[in-house]
């Protein structure tokens, strides 16, 4: 008669090995899912910041239209330099304004989008 006690120990070993492998696979899948969600969150927040910067840019451009600080410039050099760099400076100021504070429009848009889309 054959001794089956070793077969039972082998079955227990394989069951435990498979359980550990399944748990490790589940952890890896959860980590990958969390990384993907974090990447989506980052992309969403970046889009919100870009939108807020665009809005500020439009505000600053409209404000700039109301003021002509170089109208008295006789040779036009200062006015030409301002025109040359104006759009770039307005874009940079807009981006800086959009990243100021924790109650920024971008933050509020981000939180609302997460609620609306269940992210």
Domain residue ranges of the chain, discontinuous segments joined by + = 5-117
Q: Can you read off the two tokens belonging to residue 88?
A: 């770039």
pLDDT in the model for residue 86: 79
Query: Are the CB atoms for 114 and 45 separated by under 8 Å?
Result: no
Distance between CA atoms of 21 and 39, rounded to whole angstroms? 27
pLDDT in the model for residue 76: 66
79-83, Cβ contacts within 8 angstroms, sequence gap of 24 or more: none
pLDDT in the model for residue 12: 79
pLDDT in the model for residue 91: 85
pLDDT in the model for residue 95: 84
Q: State the Cα angle at 118 between 26 and 24, rounded to 5°.
A: 5
pTM to 2 decimal places = 0.58
Polymer length in residues for the chain: 119
Spatial neighbors of 105 by CB under 8 A, at least 6 apart, are 48, 51, 52, 55, 98
pLDDT in the model for residue 1: 46
Distance between CA atoms of 35 and 45, rounded to whole angstroms? 15
pLDDT less than 50: residues of the chain: 1
């Amino acid at each position: 008669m054959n001794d089956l006690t070793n077969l039972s120990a082998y079955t227990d070993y394989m069951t435990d090995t498979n359980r550990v492998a399944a748990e490790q696979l589940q952890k890896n899948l959860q980590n990958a899912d969390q990384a993907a969600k974090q990447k989506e969150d980052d992309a969403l927040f970046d889009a919100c910041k870009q939108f807020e910067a665009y809005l500020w840019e439009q505000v600053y451009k409209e404000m700039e239209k109301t003021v002509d600080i170089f109208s008295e410039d006789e040779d036009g050099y200062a006015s030409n330099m301002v025109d040359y760099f104006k759009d770039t400076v307005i874009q940079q100021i807009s981006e800086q304004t959009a990243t100021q504070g924790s109650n920024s429009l971008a933050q509020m848009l981000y939180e609302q989008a997460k609620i609306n889309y269940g992210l």
